[in-house]
Amino acid sequence: MEIYKNIGKSYCLVLLMFLFFVSCHTGHVKNDSNIKGAFQKYKSKFKPLQLPLVLKLADLYKEKLPTYNAKSTDTMFAHDNALIYGMLPDTAAFYGLITLEHYGPILTTYDKTGRTIFTLALKVRDCPADVCYTYWAETTTIDKDLAILCADTIKTTVPEGKNPTGCTDQHYCLYKDGKVNADGTIVLTEEKTAVLADSKKSIKNKKKK
């Protein structure tokens, strides 16, 4: 009799485990279907882009770009206050969507079900707070092979010792380079610097002319 009780307990345990597995699998499939449907609606709002693509930060904010619907399933994918820019043309393995946020363009890659693969800001750095910076012109290029170059050409003034009126102009380029890989991951190097020009004439000397 004890043997039959043990068999009954084992049968119930196996049955409960099977039901649990089926319910989890069904819920997972349903959840994937919901995400995919919502992503298709969200993706359809992005215009197709052509490569090579040049993104000039100063010009992007002048465009009248659409925003996402904060009361829809777009919130599953978009960040707060994000503007919709465009989609990379190669969609064979993944989707690459570019949004514009307050600190610059963002590239996010998704798999075919709408799940995020990778997200990365297409920029060198945030806007510098140093008052000596006189201009900030950042540009990002994405080539046909999905190679990425983010470059920021800067002119700044460097104080000469403790003399506030003596400053030297410097021109240099900050840049990062990388690539969107075949699996949708994105690689971008650390910030690099290349000096373009260094003026030896200070502000003090210019005033004497």
Which residue in 142, 137, 180, 121 sits closest to 54, CA to CA? 142
CA 51, 42, 81: angle at the middle one, nearest 5?
Answer: 90
Cis peptide before 105 (omega within 30 of 0): no
Three-state secondary structure readout of 142-176 = ECCCCEEEEEEEEEEEEEECCEEEEEEEEEEEEEE
Average pLDDT rounded to a whole number, residues 132-142: 70
Work out the average pLDDT over 157-164: 62
- Of the listed ranges 93-102, 106-115, 147-156, 166-175, the least confidently predicted one is 166-175
Task: Say if strands 163-180 and 186-188 run parallel, antiparallel, or are unpaired.
Answer: antiparallel
Average pLDDT over every residue of 179-198? 87
For 38-93, how does the pLDDT look when each residue is reduced to its tens digit (9 = 90+)? Answer: 999 999 999 999 999 999 988 887 888 888 777 888 888 887 678 999 999 988 99
pLDDT at 204: 38
Q: What angle do CA 36, 41, 45 make, to 5 degrees?
A: 135
81-125 pLDDT, tens per residue? 789 999 999 889 999 999 998 778 999 999 999 999 999 999 887
**pLDDT value at residue 197:** 57
Q: Can you give the pLDDT at residue 178?
A: 96
> For the chain, what is the mean pLDDT?
75
Q: Is pLDDT above 50 for 132?
A: no
